[in-house]
Amino acid sequence: MNKTQQFNQLLNLADNALIIGHRCSEWCGHGPVLEQDIAISNIALDYIGQARNFYQAAATLINEDPEMLTGFVLPATEDSLAYLRDQREFRNHLITELPNGDWAVTTLRIFLFSAYQYFLYTQLKDSGDLSVNAIAEKALKEVTYHVKWSADWVIRLGDGTEESNRRIRHAVDHLWAYTGELFLQESELQQQWLQKVQLVFEEAGLVIPEKTWMHQGGTSGNHTEHLGFILAEMQFLQRAYPGSQW
């Protein structure tokens, strides 16, 4: 992997974690019950922690070679990467930026995405890139809990009441077309992910949708209309008052 590819991968990992972390944080104070409010806020914190580590590694690459990785505020920092890039420069997958919707959409999204992260980090922790594998090794422990927590909810909602089942089926229909972007090439990763999803869906009484058209574009900067609104809220303070601190 050359330096640009390595950088793009770091940015994708960081942006994914930041944006889904931001979405989870929107539940803080609004969770259905106190315990779940705390759980999802803690998951948000884990994601944002991962994002910080990946941004720090990406910033180091920019600062080492600003003539190759151009177009960034210098010196690059975790904050400049999070707060001072526009939406076309973000490399997160579309599934992370979709609105939370109801609790079914929220928990299914975390399940589909954290299962992907679980197998991806398992691979990355043994990859040749030292900065990435340390972060992946650390984050994998946390992601394991996210997968477990979210899978429990998918099963509970699928195997629950008529209403909860209706909602989780709607969530599957809504989110499935955003999962293809996670696996642009057929890979072992996709097979592992699909097996895990199949296992949980079976227990939940859900069916994996037929092969369908898949949205894509996030990793090349073509986002849904939702990302701009997230960034407008998240970046406002640093854009209006550059360098301000709490």
Partner 1 sequence: MHQSPDNDIRNILQSVYDPEIPVLSVVDMGIIRKLSRSADEVVVHITPTYTGCPAMDVISTQIRMALLAAGFPSVKIVQELSPAWTTDWISEEGKQKLKAYGIAPPIGKAIDSVWLEDLKVPCPQCNSTNTVLVSQFGSTACKALFKCLDCKEPFDYFKCH
Q: Which of 122, 133, 192, 216: binder of partner 1 (CB under 8 A)?
A: 133
Q: Output 69 or 151, the one with its CB closest to partner 1.
A: 151
Q: How far apart are CA 150 and CA 106, in angstroms?
A: 9
The yes or no reply on residue 93 touching partner 1 (CB under 8 A) is no
The reply on whether position 189 binds partner 1 by CB under 8 A is no
Q: What gap in Å lies between CA 4 and CA 10, rounded to an integer? A: 10
CA distance 44 to 7: 24
The interaxial angle of helices 188-204 and 130-158, nearest 10 deg, is 20
Shortest Cβ 10–partner 1 spacing (Å) = 14
For residues 47 to 76, the per-residue mask of contacts with partner 1, x marking binding by CB under 8 A and - elsewhere, is xxxx-xx-----------------------
Is the Cβ–Cβ distance between 10 and 77 less than 8 Å? no
Rule CB under 8 A: say whether 30 interacts with partner 1. no
- At its nearest, how many Å lie between partner 1 and the CB of residue 71? 28
What is the distance between the alpha carbons of residues 74 and 81, in angstroms, rounded to a whole number?
A: 10
Closest CA to 111 of 163, 73, 153, 53: 153
Please state the closest distance from residue 26 (CB atom) to partner 1, in A: 16
Which range of residues in 8-16, 115-123, 133-141, 224-232 is near partner 1 by CB under 8 A?
133-141
Which CB sits closer to partner 1, 37 or 181?
37
Q: What does residue 46 show for φ and ψ, rounded to 5 degrees?
A: -60, -45
Question: Could you give the CA distance from residue 89 to residue 24 in angstroms, rounded to a whole number?
Answer: 22
C-alpha 222/C-alpha 227 separation (Å) is 10
If one asks whether residue 180 binds partner 1 (CB under 8 A), the answer comes out as no
Shortest Å distance, C-beta 128 to partner 1: 14
* Binding positions for partner 1, rule: CB under 8 A: 35-36, 38-39, 42-43, 45-50, 52-53, 130, 133-135, 137-139, 141-142, 144-145, 148-149, 152
